Structure 1
């Protein structure tokens, strides 16, 4: 297994330097005064602890050339923390402690000439850090082609989940994937494995390089395969949306994710629906959607909110699908297999200002999971409730579906 020190070296540097930063540097480095008088110390110190850190409250000295208060402390065995707070406030925050144990913090008042006061020490006792709160909630279970991890991040703080798995070539546990999130409920899958037993693990890290113990389980991934698109057929139903611009439905599975797709006519109301037969009864695991890229990436008729419906009936009857329905809802011969929202632009830009990286994200295809409890089906209906433009037509370039045969 990869050692904990090796894991720390792998992730501490990039996490600290590129994602979060290990110090708060607020531009207080320049000497802006020739007054070299040593400032007085801060006084009347009080502490308010929180998870992984503390707010330290104090009375500022009367020194007229005071610029900021500096806190120095040790975050963990390898990292020292440093925080600065201007003379406009009476509070400084220290954060990132590895454990809910007493930690010494040294405070300095610093003048405009960069002269430091005598040190003042204060002990903080942070509550249990968030990464240690998340780690015990982790559960690992089999998923199609890999492993699924669930966890609870009740404080909704930024944490990282690092996935490791036994590597047949190196003979040790190797890092396979990582997820950084502040979501309260974490439900994430790592795929790409054969359906043979393998040792998987997950540990939690944070922006300060703290690392939890690793949750490990021996798991056999469920078998999945790419559905054979040569067996797909149009299953036209009266309530399907009319086709526009000669972008016919078979384009949706022609294997070209950069060409024409399925496109409805303009001037109809959502949901925009198409129906097709995948040729056999499958327990679906996931699907990849290629939306229209380039200038269309986060606009026009590209799906924003949509659902996948399925049926295992021999000849499922038509039904008008609702705009919104709960997952698992059954209407006539059709059951809601899942409700989805296309991800926002990864850059964080607004949809109308998406950049080249966002367009590349769309062009590469986006994967969506089908819930494990969804039934096996042969017929599918894609139902788009809302497009990124909010307009009166919809389009998708390509769909690839994965699952296991269930005849």
Structure 2
């Protein structure tokens, strides 16, 4: 019995060794070159060029070779700034892009075999049209905004671009730069704040993903005066359709200067709109507001995700049943929509239910929302929560700070 068992064990060990050796040989073979054929491939033929903004498509006929792997283009997109682009043998077009100017550039083309053998070079001239980053920057508009300037324009191509605002600092006597703003949408509109209401020279330039930089467009502007509105003047203006509150989570907690619990909290599963109303004690033009959500709820449960801010400059605005959401400028009774806003997703990129400490710190710092510069002056605020992160019929907010210019 012992001998028989020993023989069986020896057979198993031998089988494992054979399998291991075979696996190692197979693994080693995967590192061998795709081909050992060192024959130089023929170059491409019948070349034509289609130029576009910042680049060109080079169209050609491939050589008749089963050993061909790809077509390689080598060129400079700016002075001494090399770039390579490849196109597989499945296509007859090579895209070259990232050029800094609208002028003639030379592209060197090769066919490359599976053994990484290059063909003789073919030189081609391309004449890209004006690059997108230059076109977009030349059409940007700079206008005064509360505490700074607003930058607006159109990115027809939806190109990924970075906008850089510079300003002349009279204290240091030199130009300084704010944090860049990344855009990739068709409509561009953002504000840069933190400036006094004094005449300042501002500038804007744009860079693309290839490191190209446009000229800087300058304009002297005077930012509009901005301050945080005095919360000591705020008061609750309860209207019949406002949501009942949960225990001592009163509306006045929205502007008590504390970002900790308790804040404003509606009753659970309210049948009325999820809303609250309060007076500012002054008439003011709003520039933005900062919202502090409940940290214990994270990006979930009853924290607001989509909400509308309504304003009224009447001395005693009347109650009316407002819609759950409204576009900017929409009017219902004494109330005008100052915008419908969406709380951003976790900045970490994680799903809302997996928010990490970085995301919670983002919430704790408060999130700013810009009010359109042509919004009405208002004496009253009506906040309507349209959607919560958890889809529940109640909500809470710890604090709201309003910024603008009292009149």
Q: Same fold (TM over 0.5)?
A: yes
CA offsets 1:313-335 (integer angstroms, 9 cap, x no match): 22222221111333223322222
For residue 104 of structure 1, report the CA deviation from its aligned partner: 1.4
1:184 aligns with 2:186: yes
What residue is the counterpart of 1:231 in the other structure? 233
User: Conserved in 1, the CA contact under 8 Å of 2:146 and 2:287?
Assistant: yes
What residue is the counterpart of 1:402 in the other structure? 403
Indicate how the Cα distance of structure 1 residues 367 and 37 shifts in structure 2: closer, same or farther if over 3 A, else same. same
Q: Counterparts of 2:58 and 2:313 in 1: how far apart (Å)?
A: 63
Matching of residues 67-86 of structure 1 within 5 Å: 67-86=69-88
Indicate how the Cα distance of structure 1 residues 317 and 270 shifts in structure 2: closer, same or farther if over 3 A, else same. closer
1:75 match: secondary structure? strand
1:318 aligns with 2:319: yes
User: Conserved in 1, the CA contact under 8 Å of 2:326 and 2:339?
Assistant: no
Indicate how the Cα distance of structure 1 residues 238 and 202 shifts in structure 2: closer, same or farther if over 3 A, else same. same
What residue is the counterpart of 1:162 in the other structure? 164
Uncovered stretches (5+) of structure 2, i.e. residues with no partner:
1-30
Question: In terms of mean alpha carbon deviation, does 355-364 or 192-201 score higher?
Answer: 355-364
Matching of residues 8-407 of structure 1 within 5 Å: 31-244=33-246, 246-268=248-270, 271-293=273-295, 296-406=297-407
User: Conserved in 1, the CA contact under 8 Å of 2:245 and 2:267?
Assistant: yes
Q: Counterparts of 2:362 and 2:210 in 1: how far apart (Å)?
A: 29
For residue 122 of structure 1, report the CA deviation from its aligned partner: 1.6
Q: Counterparts of 1:272 and 1:118 in 2: how far apart (Å)?
A: 72
For residue 143 of structure 1, report the CA deviation from its aligned partner: 0.7
User: Conserved in 2, the CA contact under 8 Å of 1:235 and 1:277?
Assistant: yes
Q: Counterparts of 1:321 and 1:46 in 2: how far apart (Å)?
A: 61
Indicate how the Cα distance of structure 1 residues 267 and 151 shifts in structure 2: closer, same or farther if over 3 A, else same. same
For residue 121 of structure 1, report the CA deviation from its aligned partner: 1.5
For residue 184 of structure 1, report the CA deviation from its aligned partner: 1.0
User: Conserved in 1, the CA contact under 8 Å of 2:248 and 2:262?
Assistant: no
Question: In terms of mean alpha carbon deviation, does 156-165 or 71-80 score higher?
Answer: 71-80
For residue 347 of structure 1, report the CA deviation from its aligned partner: 4.1
User: Conserved in 2, the CA contact under 8 Å of 1:271 and 1:386?
Assistant: no
For residue 223 of structure 1, report the CA deviation from its aligned partner: 0.7
Indicate how the Cα distance of structure 1 residues 32 and 232 shifts in structure 2: closer, same or farther if over 3 A, else same. same
Q: Counterparts of 1:291 and 1:151 in 2: how far apart (Å)?
A: 32
Provide TM-score, normalisation by structure 2: 0.86
For residue 47 of structure 1, report the CA deviation from its aligned partner: 2.5
User: Conserved in 2, the CA contact under 8 Å of 1:205 and 1:211?
Assistant: yes
- Which of these two proteins has the greater Rg computed from alpha carbons? 2
Indicate how the Cα distance of structure 1 residues 69 and 353 shifts in structure 2: closer, same or farther if over 3 A, else same. farther
Provide TM-score, normalisation by structure 1: 0.86
Indicate how the Cα distance of structure 1 residues 385 and 65 shifts in structure 2: closer, same or farther if over 3 A, else same. same
User: Conserved in 1, the CA contact under 8 Å of 2:241 and 2:272?
Assistant: no
Uncovered stretches (5+) of structure 1, i.e. residues with no partner:
1-28
Question: In terms of mean alpha carbon deviation, does 55-64 or 314-323 score higher?
Answer: 55-64
What residue is the counterpart of 2:20 in the other structure? none
Q: Counterparts of 1:385 and 1:255 in 2: how far apart (Å)?
A: 25
For residue 352 of structure 1, report the CA deviation from its aligned partner: 4.1
Indicate how the Cα distance of structure 1 residues 199 and 85 shifts in structure 2: closer, same or farther if over 3 A, else same. same
What residue is the counterpart of 1:8 in the other structure? none
CA offsets 1:283-322 (integer angstroms, 9 cap, x no match): 211111122336x333222222211112222222222111
Indicate how the Cα distance of structure 1 residues 157 and 222 shifts in structure 2: closer, same or farther if over 3 A, else same. same
Indicate how the Cα distance of structure 1 residues 52 and 356 shifts in structure 2: closer, same or farther if over 3 A, else same. farther
